[in-house]
Structure 1
Amino acid sequence: MIRVIVTDIEGTTSSISFVHEVLFPYAAEHMAAFVREHAGEAAVKSALEAVSAEAGLGPDDLDGQIDTLLGWIAEDRKATPLKALQGMIWAEGYRSGAYQGHVYDDAAEHLRRWHDRGLRLYVYSSGSEQAQRLLFGYSLDGDLTPLFSGYFDTRIGGKKETASYQAIVDALGMAPGEILFLSDIEAELIAAESAGLHTCWLVRDGELPETSRAVARDFADVERYLQTASR
C-alpha cells in the first residue's frame, strides 16, 4: 500500500512557464546586485566559493562568479550553489509581493485531500529546499507548506540517478513499495523505479506517451491510480 507521495514541482504541481518566465528572469535580473550586496554573508559566501570551485575561478573573482551564475541560469544548469542563491533572491521577490507561486488547482486540492487522509507528502525538486518552501508557502492557493513532511533537493543527488531515490527511501525509513513518485520527466521515473518506487508520469499537455507505466493528465488521475494501487 502506498503511504508516501514524493512529488516533483515543475510540470507536476506547478507550471513550467512560471519557473522559466517568472522566477528565472527575476533571479537573472537581480543576481549581480544581490551577490555584490551580500557577498560577505556566510550563506552567500559559501555558495560563491562552490561556484568558484566548480567553474575554476579565483575565490575573490566576483565578476567571474556573477558571469558564471548568469550563464548557468541561461542554460538551466542544475548546479547546487546556483539553486541556493536563486532561492535567496526569490525569497525577496515572494516577500515583496512581486509574484506568488503557481500551483495547479487540482494539485492543491489533492495534496490537501491526501494529507487529510494520512498520506505523508514530500517534495523532490532540482530547486533548493528554500525555493520549494517559498513556492508552496507563497502560492496562489495560500500557504501549502503545512501539508508537507519534508523536502529533498540536489544535495541528496541528481534526479536521474537511482542512488538519489535509494537515499530518499533510507531517509524516509519506508519500504520502496510504499512510496509513489510523481514527475513529468521519464528519466526521473526510470531512476525511481530502479530503486523500487511506484511512479506516475504527469503529462499535462500534448499527446499521451505509449508506455506501460502509469500516466496522468492531472492529480485527479493520480488519485485514480492510488485507488488501484492500494487494492
Structure 2
Amino acid sequence: MKPIAIVTDIEGTTSSIRFVKDILFVYAEQFLPDFIRKHKEERDVARQLRAMSENTGIPLRNTEALIAQLQEWMRNDEKVTELKALQGMVWEQGYSRGEYQAHVYPDVPEKLREWQEQGINLYVYSSGSEKAQRLFFRYTTYGDLRLLFAGYFDTTIGAKQEAQSYRNIAEWIALPPEDILFLSDIEGELDAAAEIGIRTIRVVRPQESEGEVTSRHPVVHSFEEITLE
C-alpha cells in the first residue's frame, strides 16, 4: 500500500553533505559572530540568545561569551536548536545576496513532483531550523521547491535519533505510523522511526559513501529507485 505521507531528510538524502559542510557551515563560521553583534537587539535574534542564556547560564549581556559558545557548538557540529535558528538567519543573508544556491540531487525534484501529483503529502525533517529548510528549498539549483512540501520539522519537535520525535511527527501529520515513509541516510534516524512503525528507506548516495553499506532498512542509491507499494 502506498504511503499517505513521505518525510525526507535533507543532508545526504536530497542534497550533498559537501554543500552543507563546505559552503553553509563555512559561511556561518565566517559571518555569525558579526551578525550577532549587529542584530542582537532585534526580536528574532534576541529570542534565540535569551533561550541560549537560560539553557547555558551564560549572562545575556555577555555577547562575546555567547558568541564563543556558538562557535564551539559549530566546531563540534552540535544539534542545538538556538544555534540552528541563528545559522538559518545568517544563511538567509548569503542566499538573498546570491552568494550560493542549495545543491539538490537531479533525481529529487522530478520524483517529489511525481509523488505530490499522486496525492502524497511531503514533509521535511532536518536538524537545520525550519527557517533554514525553507530557505534551502527556496534557493536551490532547480529553483524554488518549497511548494512541493506540506510542512517542515526541525529539532523543536525532538532529536532525530529519538523515537518520540517520530511519534510527535505522526501526531502532527495526524496519520498512523504505518502510513508514513521516512527517507534518510542515517541508520540511527531510521531505527528511531521504525521503532514506532514508520516505514523506512535508507538513501545511500554513491557520492557520499565508500563501498557497500549494510543496513537493517531497504537501501536505494537515488530517489529513482524508490517504488511505492
- TM-score scaled by length of structure 1: 0.95
Is 1:44 matched up with 2:48? no
- Alignment: residue pair count: 225
CA distance in structure 2 between the partners assigned to 1:155 and 1:211 by the alignment:
28
CA distance in structure 1 between the partners assigned to 2:13 and 2:197 by the alignment:
21
Corresponding position of 2:108: 107
Is 1:209 matched up with 2:213? yes
Deviation of 1:53 (Å): 2.5
Deviation of 1:63 (Å): 0.3
What does 1:1-231 align with in structure 2 at a 5 Å threshold?
Answer: 1=1, 2-205=3-206, 206-222=210-226, 224=227, 226=228, 230=229
CA distance in structure 2 between the partners assigned to 1:216 and 1:140 by the alignment:
23
Residues 190, 217 of structure 2: 8 Å contact kept: no
Amino acid in the other structure paired with 1:71: E
CA distance in structure 1 between the partners assigned to 2:19 and 2:168 by the alignment:
29
More helix by share: 1
Deviation of 1:151 (Å): 0.3
CA distance in structure 1 between the partners assigned to 2:77 and 2:157 by the alignment:
19
Deviations 1:53-97 (A, max 9, x none): 233211111000111111111111100000000000101110110
Amino acid in the other structure paired with 1:48: L
CA distance in structure 2 between the partners assigned to 1:59 and 1:8 by the alignment:
33
| Structure 1 counterpart SS, 2:183 | strand
Moved more, 210-219 or 7-16: 210-219
CA distance in structure 2 between the partners assigned to 1:103 and 1:210 by the alignment:
25
| Structure 2 counterpart SS, 1:207 | coil
Residues 124, 151 of structure 2: 8 Å contact kept: yes
Deviations 1:114-164 (A, max 9, x none): 112211100000000000001101000000001000000000000000000
Amino acid in the other structure paired with 1:10: E
Deviation of 1:107 (Å): 1.1
CA distance in structure 1 between the partners assigned to 2:135 and 2:52 by the alignment:
23
Backbone CA RMSD of aligned residues = 1.0
Deviation of 1:32 (Å): 1.2
Deviations 1:24-44 (A, max 9, x none): 111111111110111001110
Unaligned runs of 5+ in 1: none
Deviations 1:156-179 (A, max 9, x none): 000000000000000001111110
Unaligned runs of 5+ in 2: none
Amino acid in the other structure paired with 2:225: D
CA distance in structure 1 between the partners assigned to 2:41 and 2:223 by the alignment:
43
- TM-score scaled by length of structure 2: 0.96
Large movers: runs of 4+ above 6 Å: none
CA distance in structure 2 between the partners assigned to 1:160 and 1:200 by the alignment:
15
